[in-house]
Structure 1
């Protein structure tokens, strides 16, 4: 679990005022207000280095680079998350039913997960994640 410089833990109990001070305007909009970055605009869309993707809000490890694949959707795509790192919620916004994914530790919005699209991955899932929602930590 990540902490701020003042040793405040960053999790689901962190007040929104603290998130507003810690995150950039774009990070706050996507992580806390469930926004979406434009397709193809994210720094990790076509990025394939070896390492771990952590929550941009709290630093919790979410995805390993081995599960990242090129889905062509315009956002980083992963076929599986680290165990217990991501929660799923029904999202009925915009007149459709989707599965939203959030950081299990802080509740930050990551994106959506889609099943059964036929990608040649072990899970047949696509975790469509905003680049702004994650930060990359290279393998040492």
Structure 2
């Protein structure tokens, strides 16, 4: 049976879970050497959570909806650093900004037809998933 890594987490006022320390097998913080009660003196809302679940919560908090940008903004991002996962097709193109926003999260840039977009998501998001997100945003904006 695999043990899940447990971490001490403080959820800030914006709802973002901040990892304070990793719990060791003796119930103390790996870096602080303190128990949860001792850590709670500094962080009254401290909780013990599964590390993988915290990463999922952090990524969900950082993820943004696609927003339309100009062609110049798209080209500036494309030319700033070498793009990650750059895919070009006649219908559109997408790439991930090579500099990460946090962990696996980065800004994704896309062109669909003659429109240009950006949003924050995991850097490994595939081209088809990116195009689906942009297409859903275009559909959402179309008046009923």
Give the shorter-chain TM-score range. under 0.3
Structure with the bigger RCO (C-alpha within 8 Å, sep 6+) is: 1
User: What TM-score does the superposition give when structure 1 sets the normalisation length?
Assistant: 0.25
User: What TM-score does the superposition give when structure 2 sets the normalisation length?
Assistant: 0.25
Pick the structure with more helix per residue.
2
- Name which one, 1 or 2, has greater alpha-carbon Rg: 2
